Chain A
Amino acid sequence: MRRFALIAVGIFIVWLALAGRLTLAEVVTGALVAAGVAALSRHHLALLDDIRLTPMLPVHLARYFWTFFIALVGANLDVARRVISPKPDIHPALVEVRTALTSDLGKLWLANSITLTPGTLSVDVVGDVLKVHWIDATPGRDMEHATRAIAEKFEARLKGFLS
C-alpha cells in the first residue's frame, strides 16, 4: 500500500508536469493512469521500500541535492582541467570503498552520486564494498583513505532518508 502510494504520487506528478496545465480532464486522467501504473508495477519496485518516509524527507532531499550539485560542478571543472591540460594529468587506480548503507536503493544512490562527483566512477558493488575507478588516487589507495575521500560526504546525507 505504501509502495502503491509512492509510485502513484510520483507518476501523477510526472503526468501533471508533462501535461503542463491543470484542467479537470488532465487531473482525472492523470489520477487514473497513475493508479493503473502503480497497480501494475508495485510488485517490481521493492526498491522503494528503502526510503524512510518522514516529514523530514524533503529537507533531507534538499540537503542531499545541494551537496550533490556542488560536487557535480566541481567534478566538471576538475575533469575539464584534466582534459585540456597538455599531458592528461591523471593518476588512476581502482580502489575499494566500504559503505555503511545497507539497503539496495541506498547503495545504488551512493554509487550514482560517486559516479557524478570529481574523479570517481563506480564500477561494481559486491556486498557492502563498492569498486571505484579513481582518476587521481594520490590521497591513498587503501580502503580507509578511499572511503573517507569518496563516500563519506554523501553517506552522511543519504543516511537521513535511506538505510
Chain B
Amino acid sequence: MAVIGDLFLVLGGLFLFLGALGIVRMPDVFNRLQAGTKAATLGALGIIAGVFFHHPGWWAKLMIIALFVLITSPVGSSTIARAALSAGIRPWRERGEDEGEGA
C-alpha cells in the first residue's frame, strides 16, 4: 500500500513539475493556462490519491478536496483567459501563418 501511495505521490509531483515547466515554456497566457491547469489538476489528484493509499481512512475528506480542485481549477483558468481576452491580449500565432482570419 505504502509503495503504491509513494508511486502516486511521485507521479503527482511529476505532473505538477511539468505544469510549472509549461508555464515557463509556453508562448502566451492562453497556452500557459493550458499547461498550468491540466497538469496541475492531475498532479493534485495524483497527490490526493497517494495520500489515500497512505491513509485510507481519510477517503471522504480527500474526495471533497479532489472535487474542490476539479471545480475551481477550470473556473479559475477560464476566468483568467476571459480577462486576458477582454484586456486585448491576442493569442500567439505561429509565424508564417496568414493573419486576419479567425478571431
Contacts and interface: CB of A to CB of B under 8 A. Distances in A.
Interface of A: 14, 16-18, 20, 72-73, 75-76, 79-80, 82-84, 88, 90-96, 111-113, 115-116, 119-124, 131, 133, 135, 141
Contacts of A93: 91, 93, 102-103
Given A83-B35, A90-B94, A92-B93, 14 more contacts: A14-B64, A18-B61, A72-B42, A75-B38, A79-B19, A79-B35, A84-B18, A84-B21, A92-B30, A93-B93, A112-B78, A115-B37, A116-B70, A123-B82
Contacts of A75: 38, 42
Nearest to A141: B102
Given A91-B94, A116-B38, A96 B103 contact: yes
A141 B102 CA distance: 8
A163 B103 CA distance: 29
B74 A123 contact: no
B42 A92 contact: no
Nearest to A69: B45
Q: Is the interface of A mostly helix, strand, loop or mixed?
A: mixed
Interface string B18-61: 11011001111011011101110110010000000000011011
Contact of B82 (A72, A79, A82, A124): A124
B15 A80 contact: yes
B46 to A, nearest CB: 9
A92 B92 contact: yes
B2 interface: no
